[in-house]
Amino acid sequence: MNDIIYVGKHLRTYNVIKHTHESWELVYCTDGSGRFTFDDGGYLDYKKGELVLIPPETLHENSSERGFMNIHLNIANGTFAYTSPAIIQDDSEKHVYKTFEDVFYFYHSNLNKRQLILSALGNLIANYVLAFRSNKPLSKLVEEIKSDIVKNFPDPEYSLEDFMHSFPFSYDYLRKLFKSELGMTPHSYLVEMRMQTAEQLLVDMKRNEYNISMIAEMCGYEEPLYFSRVFKKHFGCSPSVYLERKAQE
């Protein structure tokens, strides 16, 4: 499934004549913008950072006044839940772009058993499409705050407040904007990230020879006692009681 059968790149290009494929075509725009026009009269405007999915046997043309650059690939046996062309927005960390770059490299390399890697990357791309297609696009400010939390939540010295105060907007405005788009405040999102990690680490506590102090630090808490209080507020019981319940289950 999701077998990558061709990978190419367009440098600065202004027009790709009408054509079709027996397989799925996925086009990631790395620079510029353009328009895909389809034989049924429909079209899709795209820009840098967007991925265009084109189903098999779909006649299409790609054009741009200012030019575009892209990485394009063909996937056979694709598991994409689309019957018509669609656009997927990459996230702020450019995970889809990085994967396309990896696909291009390994497809054109002489690495032994490269097909094993390409198979894994094909399935990864399909999963990114599945994960990102239903996501409501976040505003740039909220995406930056969310990304910073995800990068830094394990660091006990991380200051979310300092990061938010680095923006030329009031803290209260950013807090309300974040909550309106993600349903919780930035601080609550930070705690949620840390508690999810704590839960996973506790389950594997004995196997990895962790203790509560070590888990607290890995989740961004210098004080184990404070970590336990936050954990109890979040899960309704202390870490030790949580472990006992898991053992009984």
Last residue of a domain, one of 72, 101, 133: 133
**Are 243 and 161 part of one and the same domain?**
yes
pLDDT of residue 140: 86
pTM for the whole structure: 0.63
Instruction: Average pLDDT across each block of 10 residues of the chain; the chain has 249 residues. List them in order.
Output: 94 95 97 94 93 95 96 93 88 92 95 89 91 72 90 92 94 91 87 87 76 90 92 87 76
**Are 97 and 147 part of one and the same domain?**
no
pLDDT of residue 51: 96
Residue with tokens 């990895």: 208
pLDDT of residue 136: 63
pLDDT of residue 67: 96
pLDDT of residue 134: 58
**Are 223 and 244 part of one and the same domain?**
yes
Last residue of a domain, one of 106, 133, 160: 133
Cβ atoms of 142 and 181 within 8 Å: the answer is yes
**Are 190 and 88 part of one and the same domain?**
no
**Are 170 and 206 part of one and the same domain?**
yes
**Are 110 and 10 part of one and the same domain?**
yes
Range of the domain at 191: 140-248
**Are 148 and 122 part of one and the same domain?**
no
pLDDT of residue 173: 93
**Are 155 and 47 part of one and the same domain?**
no
CA distance 152 to 95: 18
Last residue of a domain, one of 69, 98, 133: 133
Number of domains in the chain: 2
